[in-house]
Amino acid sequence: MTNGLLTKLKVNIKRLLGRIVYSYIYLCRKLKNIKSLYFTAGKGKKRKKSFSALTRKHWRLSLTVIFLIIGIYYGIGAAISSKINSNLEKEYKTFSTDNQNTLQALAHVIKEQVDKQAWTPALPMIFPASVLDNLPNFQLGAKNTANFFLKRMAKYHKNKNLKEATKLLDYNPTIWLFSQTKENKLAPGSAKQYRNALTYIKTAIKEDFKHYQPSLDDLLYILKNTNILLDMKINELDKHINEHSSELLDFKADDLFYDTLGSAYTLHYLLSAVIKDYQNQIVSTEQYENITSALYFLENAIKLKPVTVKNSAPNDIYGANHLYYLAYYLSRAQYYTQEMYYAIAAANMAEQNHED
pLDDT tens, position by position, 116-129: 888 888 876 555 54
Q: What is the structure's pLDDT at 127?
A: 54
| Contact (Cβ atoms closer than 8 angstroms) between residue 150 and residue 165 | yes
Q: What is the structure's pLDDT at 272?
A: 95
Q: What is the structure's pLDDT at 21?
A: 55
CATH 1.20.120 correct for 214-356: yes
* Confidence band of 340 (pLDDT split at 50, 70, 90): very high
pLDDT > 50? residue 19: yes
Tell me how many degrees the CA angle 121-126-132 measures, rounded to the nearest 5.
Answer: 40
* Confidence band of 245 (pLDDT split at 50, 70, 90): confident
* Confidence band of 20 (pLDDT split at 50, 70, 90): low
Amino acid identity at 181: T
* Confidence band of 194 (pLDDT split at 50, 70, 90): very high
Q: Which of 98, 341, 304, 295 is nearest to 205 (CA)?
A: 98
pLDDT > 80? residue 107: yes
Q: What is the structure's pLDDT at 200?
A: 96
Q: What is the pLDDT of residues 135-162, one digit of tens each?
A: 889 999 999 999 999 999 999 999 999 9
Q: What is the structure's pLDDT at 131?
A: 46
| Contact (Cβ atoms closer than 8 angstroms) between residue 6 and residue 119 | no
Task: Please count the residues of the chain.
Answer: 356
Q: What is the structure's pLDDT at 247?
A: 77
DSSP secondary structure string for all residues of 269-333: HHHHHHHHHTHHHHHHTT-HHHHHHHHHHHHHHHT---SS--B--TT-SSS-BHHHHHHHHHHHH
Domain chopping of the chain, boundaries? 3-72, 84-125+149-212, 214-356
**200 phi, psi to nearest 5 deg:** -65, -40
Arithmetic mean of pLDDT, 331-351: 92
Helix (H, G, I), strand (E, B) or coil at 158: coil
HSE value, Cβ hemisphere, 13 Å, CA-based, for 253: 28
pLDDT > 60? residue 286: yes
Higher model confidence: residue 32 or residue 308? Answer: 308
Q: What is the structure's pLDDT at 44?
A: 45
What is the share, in percent, of the chain residues with pLDDT greater than 70?
A: 68
In the chain, which ranges are continuous DSSP H helix? 3-38, 45-81, 101-114, 134-157, 160-169, 190-203, 216-244, 253-277, 279-284, 288-302, 322-355
Amino acid identity at 234: I
In terms of average pLDDT, the best of 245-259, 284-298, 300-314 is 284-298
Q: What is the pLDDT of residues 30-65, one digit of tens each?
A: 555 555 555 544 444 444 455 555 555 555 555 665
Q: What is the structure's pLDDT at 37?
A: 52
Q: What is the structure's pLDDT at 270?
A: 96
